Amino acid sequence: MKKLVLLVLIILSIQLKAQEQPNKFDIRFGVGTSLLGSGDVITLNFENEVNYDISQYFASSFTLNYGRSNKNTDYPKSYIQLNLNIFISPFKNSKKNDFRIGTGFSYMNISEGYPDYGGCGTPPVPEPVSPLNNTIGINFIIEDTYLISERFLIGLKLFSQSYNSGDINSGILLKFGLVL
Protein backbone atom coordinates (compact mmCIF):
# COMPACT_ATOMS: atom_id res chain seq x y z
CA MET A 1 0.00 0.00 0.00
CA LYS A 2 2.87 2.38 0.81
CA LYS A 3 4.44 1.64 -2.55
CA LEU A 4 1.16 2.41 -4.33
CA VAL A 5 0.79 5.76 -2.53
CA LEU A 6 4.41 6.61 -3.31
CA LEU A 7 3.90 5.69 -6.98
CA VAL A 8 0.78 7.88 -7.22
CA LEU A 9 2.62 10.84 -5.63
CA ILE A 10 5.54 10.46 -8.06
CA ILE A 11 3.20 10.31 -11.06
CA LEU A 12 1.31 13.41 -9.88
CA SER A 13 4.53 15.34 -9.34
CA ILE A 14 5.74 14.43 -12.84
CA GLN A 15 2.43 15.63 -14.31
CA LEU A 16 2.58 18.89 -12.38
CA LYS A 17 6.16 19.54 -13.50
CA ALA A 18 5.24 18.84 -17.12
CA GLN A 19 2.43 21.40 -16.93
CA GLU A 20 4.82 24.16 -15.82
CA GLN A 21 5.55 25.52 -19.28
CA PRO A 22 6.53 29.13 -19.77
CA ASN A 23 3.64 31.42 -20.61
CA LYS A 24 3.66 32.27 -24.28
CA PHE A 25 1.03 35.03 -24.14
CA ASP A 26 1.21 38.54 -22.77
CA ILE A 27 -0.93 41.64 -23.07
CA ARG A 28 0.47 45.15 -23.40
CA PHE A 29 -1.04 48.61 -23.17
CA GLY A 30 0.71 51.58 -24.71
CA VAL A 31 0.39 55.34 -24.83
CA GLY A 32 2.37 57.71 -27.00
CA THR A 33 2.34 60.08 -29.92
CA SER A 34 2.71 59.88 -33.67
CA LEU A 35 2.80 62.02 -36.80
CA LEU A 36 -0.15 61.15 -39.07
CA GLY A 37 -1.00 61.97 -42.68
CA SER A 38 1.95 63.43 -44.48
CA GLY A 39 3.73 63.72 -41.12
CA ASP A 40 2.21 67.02 -40.03
CA VAL A 41 -0.70 65.93 -37.77
CA ILE A 42 0.35 65.17 -34.16
CA THR A 43 -1.86 62.46 -32.63
CA LEU A 44 -2.19 60.99 -29.15
CA ASN A 45 -2.20 57.17 -29.40
CA PHE A 46 -3.52 54.36 -27.23
CA GLU A 47 -2.61 50.77 -28.04
CA ASN A 48 -3.85 47.37 -26.84
CA GLU A 49 -1.72 44.40 -27.85
CA VAL A 50 -1.72 40.63 -27.47
CA ASN A 51 1.63 38.88 -28.04
CA TYR A 52 2.42 35.23 -28.65
CA ASP A 53 5.99 33.92 -28.33
CA ILE A 54 6.51 31.40 -31.14
CA SER A 55 10.10 30.61 -30.08
CA GLN A 56 13.06 32.34 -28.47
CA TYR A 57 13.68 34.16 -31.76
CA PHE A 58 10.17 34.76 -33.16
CA ALA A 59 6.94 36.28 -31.86
CA SER A 60 3.67 37.56 -33.28
CA SER A 61 1.22 40.21 -32.14
CA PHE A 62 -2.24 41.59 -32.77
CA THR A 63 -2.88 45.24 -31.88
CA LEU A 64 -5.86 47.56 -31.71
CA ASN A 65 -4.93 51.26 -31.72
CA TYR A 66 -6.85 54.49 -31.30
CA GLY A 67 -5.42 57.90 -32.13
CA ARG A 68 -6.85 61.42 -32.01
CA SER A 69 -5.61 64.87 -32.94
CA ASN A 70 -6.91 68.41 -32.74
CA LYS A 71 -3.53 69.98 -33.50
CA ASN A 72 -1.96 71.06 -36.78
CA THR A 73 -5.17 70.39 -38.70
CA ASP A 74 -8.28 72.34 -39.71
CA TYR A 75 -10.54 69.45 -38.70
CA PRO A 76 -10.20 67.04 -35.77
CA LYS A 77 -8.91 63.65 -36.91
CA SER A 78 -9.14 60.27 -35.25
CA TYR A 79 -8.34 56.75 -36.33
CA ILE A 80 -8.86 53.16 -35.35
CA GLN A 81 -6.22 50.73 -36.48
CA LEU A 82 -5.80 46.94 -36.52
CA ASN A 83 -2.31 45.45 -36.93
CA LEU A 84 -1.00 41.92 -37.35
CA ASN A 85 2.78 41.69 -36.90
CA ILE A 86 5.64 39.20 -36.81
CA PHE A 87 8.87 39.90 -34.88
CA ILE A 88 12.39 38.54 -34.79
CA SER A 89 14.55 38.85 -31.67
CA PRO A 90 18.10 38.91 -33.14
CA PHE A 91 19.74 38.59 -29.69
CA LYS A 92 17.30 35.90 -28.48
CA ASN A 93 14.38 36.58 -26.17
CA SER A 94 15.90 35.93 -22.75
CA LYS A 95 12.48 36.52 -21.09
CA LYS A 96 14.13 39.28 -19.03
CA ASN A 97 14.94 41.60 -21.95
CA ASP A 98 13.53 41.29 -25.46
CA PHE A 99 14.84 43.52 -28.24
CA ARG A 100 12.92 42.81 -31.42
CA ILE A 101 12.38 44.06 -34.95
CA GLY A 102 9.09 43.51 -36.71
CA THR A 103 6.89 44.03 -39.69
CA GLY A 104 3.29 43.34 -40.51
CA PHE A 105 0.03 44.44 -42.02
CA SER A 106 -2.16 47.31 -40.91
CA TYR A 107 -5.75 48.36 -41.56
CA MET A 108 -6.65 51.93 -40.61
CA ASN A 109 -9.95 53.80 -40.55
CA ILE A 110 -9.42 57.56 -40.42
CA SER A 111 -12.31 59.86 -39.51
CA GLU A 112 -12.19 63.61 -40.01
CA GLY A 113 -14.53 66.04 -38.25
CA TYR A 114 -15.89 69.40 -39.25
CA PRO A 115 -15.36 72.84 -37.71
CA ASP A 116 -17.56 73.79 -34.75
CA TYR A 117 -19.16 77.21 -35.26
CA GLY A 118 -20.61 77.34 -31.73
CA GLY A 119 -24.18 78.04 -32.82
CA CYS A 120 -23.43 81.65 -33.86
CA GLY A 121 -25.80 82.46 -36.73
CA THR A 122 -26.02 80.25 -39.77
CA PRO A 123 -22.77 78.35 -40.19
CA PRO A 124 -21.42 77.94 -43.68
CA VAL A 125 -21.84 74.46 -45.08
CA PRO A 126 -18.45 72.79 -44.76
CA GLU A 127 -17.16 70.77 -47.64
CA PRO A 128 -16.37 67.18 -46.70
CA VAL A 129 -12.65 66.50 -46.46
CA SER A 130 -13.04 62.72 -46.88
CA PRO A 131 -15.00 62.11 -43.68
CA LEU A 132 -14.13 58.40 -43.69
CA ASN A 133 -11.00 56.85 -45.14
CA ASN A 134 -10.17 53.15 -45.00
CA THR A 135 -6.67 52.15 -46.01
CA ILE A 136 -4.24 49.25 -45.68
CA GLY A 137 -0.51 49.43 -45.13
CA ILE A 138 2.66 47.88 -43.81
CA ASN A 139 4.33 48.29 -40.40
CA PHE A 140 8.02 48.63 -39.49
CA ILE A 141 8.69 48.29 -35.75
CA ILE A 142 11.65 48.41 -33.35
CA GLU A 143 10.76 47.51 -29.77
CA ASP A 144 12.55 46.75 -26.51
CA THR A 145 10.76 45.19 -23.54
CA TYR A 146 12.09 44.55 -20.05
CA LEU A 147 10.49 42.22 -17.50
CA ILE A 148 10.48 44.17 -14.22
CA SER A 149 9.01 41.29 -12.17
CA GLU A 150 7.80 37.78 -12.82
CA ARG A 151 4.60 39.05 -14.47
CA PHE A 152 4.99 42.77 -15.25
CA LEU A 153 6.89 44.32 -18.15
CA ILE A 154 7.68 47.76 -19.51
CA GLY A 155 8.82 48.69 -22.98
CA LEU A 156 9.41 51.28 -25.66
CA LYS A 157 8.18 50.98 -29.24
CA LEU A 158 9.26 52.97 -32.31
CA PHE A 159 7.12 52.46 -35.40
CA SER A 160 6.50 53.69 -38.91
CA GLN A 161 3.53 52.73 -41.05
CA SER A 162 3.11 53.40 -44.75
CA TYR A 163 -0.37 53.17 -46.31
CA ASN A 164 -1.56 52.70 -49.89
CA SER A 165 -3.49 56.00 -49.64
CA GLY A 166 -0.18 57.86 -49.32
CA ASP A 167 -0.58 58.46 -45.58
CA ILE A 168 2.13 57.65 -43.06
CA ASN A 169 1.97 57.21 -39.31
CA SER A 170 5.25 57.25 -37.38
CA GLY A 171 5.74 57.54 -33.65
CA ILE A 172 6.75 56.27 -30.24
CA LEU A 173 4.85 54.44 -27.48
CA LEU A 174 5.60 53.67 -23.84
CA LYS A 175 4.16 50.24 -23.06
CA PHE A 176 3.16 48.37 -19.92
CA GLY A 177 2.29 44.70 -19.90
CA LEU A 178 1.30 41.59 -18.06
CA VAL A 179 2.48 38.04 -18.74
CA LEU A 180 -0.53 35.73 -18.71
84 CB contacts (<8 Å, ≥6 apart)? 60, 61, 62, 104, 105
The helix/strand count (H/E) of the chain reads as: 1, 8
- pTM as predicted: 0.76
Q: Count Cβ neighbours within 10 Å for each residue of 125-147 and write b for 16 or more, e otherwise.
A: eeeeeeeebebebebebebebeb
Tell the CATH topology of 26-119+127-179: Porin (2.40.160)
Return per-residue pLDDT of the chain as tens, 180 residues: 677 666 666 666 654 444 445 678 999 999 999 998 776 788 999 999 999 999 999 999 999 999 998 776 666 788 899 999 999 999 988 878 999 999 999 999 988 766 555 555 555 555 555 556 889 999 999 999 999 998 899 999 999 999 998 889 999 999 999 998
* AA letter at 129: V
Distance separating alpha carbons of residues 79 and 83, to the nearest angstrom: 13
What is the domain partition of the chain in residue ranges?
Answer: 26-119+127-179
DSSP-derived letter for residue 12 is H
